[in-house]
Amino acid sequence: MKSRQPSGRKRKKSKGAGKNPARAAPHSPELVIITGMSGSGKASVLKAFEDLGYYCVDNLPVQLIPQFADLAVQSSEIRRTALVVDVREGSKLDELPKILKSVARMIPTKVVFLEASDSVLMRRFSETRRPHPLGTDAPVKSALKAERRHLGAIRAVADLVIDTSKFNVHELRAHITERFKKQSSEKSLLVSCVSFGFRQGLPEDADVVSDVRFLPNPHFIPEFRPLTGRDPRVARYIRSFPQTREFISRTVSDLLFLLPHYIHEGKSYLTIAFGCTGGQHRSVMIAEEVSKHLRRAGYRVKVVHRDSPK
């Protein structure tokens, strides 16, 4: 059994609606059961829930679902949970509809069922060269037919059925994020503003890189040389030039346009790197300044000065 926890991400209440009449009040526990056809994208969907702040467990034995639901109800730490249950359970999977009825009386529960056309599923198995969970004795097409028959009762009780045939991985994650996020999570993207020096090379994890070496360099002013861009005197000097102010204004404007689109694509974090020659003055000041503007716009931002101080 494989367990995943959101790494430092804040848990948020979902606004998704299902057939279950129990509605999740603020801070109330919630359980999402992810199931469906092999190759339909359950791992990608589980990752999307993880990014939304759910405590995620892959391939939980069905007999343990009531105990896990009770834990979510009693715990102050585990509130929103998502579980993958599928044909890997074998004959035990037949017990799931009955278990779901008892669990739904304990905790607001939604069942998300993923499927895709046989041709798409067969192509995905061919591309990944992974065997079907029901075994390699029969052709994949026959295994898919048997799996559909086995999952028929579970599909019938699903709150949400998603055909992933026309989704790629990124589109599927974005679809789940859009459907299950709450309004206040629209700016849940974590933005990292990183300063660096080109002398030490580009940051490996940078998504966006800006070269600020065109700005006047405080390094050539003796009193500023031992300082960094975080020093108010150095920052004031860099900011005194009109090209600095225009660069900050244009950069912030571009980012405020781009960030909602990154969120829509399902991105949960973005690293913006600002580089100068040594990574001590200009890049540091710009990273600090841009981060302030993004925070004022409501985004979660952290600042990392990779090469400062020396």
3-class secondary structure for 93-118?
HHHHHHHHHHHHCCCCEEEEEEECCH
pLDDT of residue 138: 66
| Each residue's pLDDT tens digit, 246-275 | 999 999 999 999 998 887 776 767 899 999
CA distance between the termini of the chain: 45
pLDDT of residue 310: 65
CA distances in angstroms from 21 to 165, 176, 265, listed in the order given: 30, 21, 31
> For the chain, how many residues are written?
310
242: cis peptide before it, omega within 30°? no
Backbone φ, ψ for residue 140 (5° rounding): -60, -40
Give the dihedral of Cα atoms 96, 49, 81, 58; nearest 10 deg: 50
Domain boundaries along the sequence of the chain:
2-183, 190-305
Backbone φ, ψ for residue 164 (5° rounding): -95, 10
User: Cα separation of 133 and 256, whole Å?
Assistant: 45
Q: What is the sign, positive or negative, of the torsion defined by CA atoms of 56, 57, 62, 66?
A: negative
Residues (pLDDT < 70) of the chain are 1-28, 76, 128, 135-138, 182-188, 266, 268, 310
Which of 3.50.30.40, 3.40.50.300, 1.10.287.110, 3.30.70.260 is the CATH number of 2-183?
A: 3.40.50.300
| Helical spans, DSSP H, in 114-230 | 118-128, 140-156, 169-180
Q: Residue 219 belongs to what H/E stretch?
A: none
According to DSSP, the residues that pair with 36 across neighbouring strands are 114
pLDDT of residue 234: 97
pLDDT of residue 218: 97
User: Cα separation of 227 and 309, whole Å?
Assistant: 8
pLDDT of residue 11: 39
User: Cα separation of 304 and 114, whole Å?
Assistant: 40
pLDDT of residue 123: 86
pLDDT of residue 219: 95
Instruction: List Cβ neighbours of 181 (8 Å cut-off, separation of 6 or more).
Output: 12, 14, 15, 52, 188
